[in-house]
Amino acid sequence: MLKGNVDTTRFQRDLALYIKNTSKTIIDAINFKLYDAARAAIKGTTKADRNKVKQYLDAASVKYPEKTVAEIIVIMQQEKAGKTFFDLDTLTNKYKNRKYSSLGFTKAGWIPALKKLLKYVGREAVSVSGIVKAAFGGAEPANKVGSQVTGSIFNDVDGTGNKTFVEANKQKGAQAGIDKVSLDMETYLAKKLDVPIDTFNRA
């Protein structure tokens, strides 16, 4: 259901029971829950801390302590582009501003999944507060292959230069997403079947 190192045991159990107790078709049920999981994953994915990013960019370079990390990055970019003369201060400020404007980039990696699933859940548009631009990601809507119906959502933000943090952040968001949807299904089923919600946690 979700690509990555995420524990879906609880989700799969709850989904199977949910499908048995909803009027939705299997395909519709899965698509709706994928959509809900993507929305919850956005909330569960951490937005980068502006102060920490600023502190990193403004720190002195280890190899060239007379320059900041941001300045060295800009110099390397310009040299790679074959440029010898450039306004370092202006380009460094532009580079830093781009970094500040993309603090929610990892969160935005779930938006393409929402957009891909819109028509499958009867919606025409989606808006997410605090995120301006959708990043890399997507979804595979529910589809029957043989005797099984499968579907997935995924976040493809690769975290160039900071892969470890970004991957951990995506996994955190994905787990938060399916855990939220599992709880929602358990709440629905508890009312539908007239049983305590704790029953699901003991299963």
Give the global pTM.
0.76
Return the pLDDT at 71: 94
Range 133-162 average pLDDT: 85
How much is the average pLDDT of 27-51?
91
pLDDT for residue 111 is more than 70: yes
Which residues sit opposite 137 in a β-bridge? 155
**In the prediction, which pLDDT does 160 show?**
62
Report which residue type is found at 134. A
Task: In whole angstroms, give the CA distance from residue 160 to residue 136.
Answer: 13
Contact 188, 16 (CB under 8 A): no
C-alpha closest to that of 114 among 76, 65, 68, 154: 154
Residue 58, number of CB atoms within 10 A of its CB = 13
Top pLDDT among 50 and 191 is at 191
Instruction: Give me the amino acid identity at 59.
Output: A
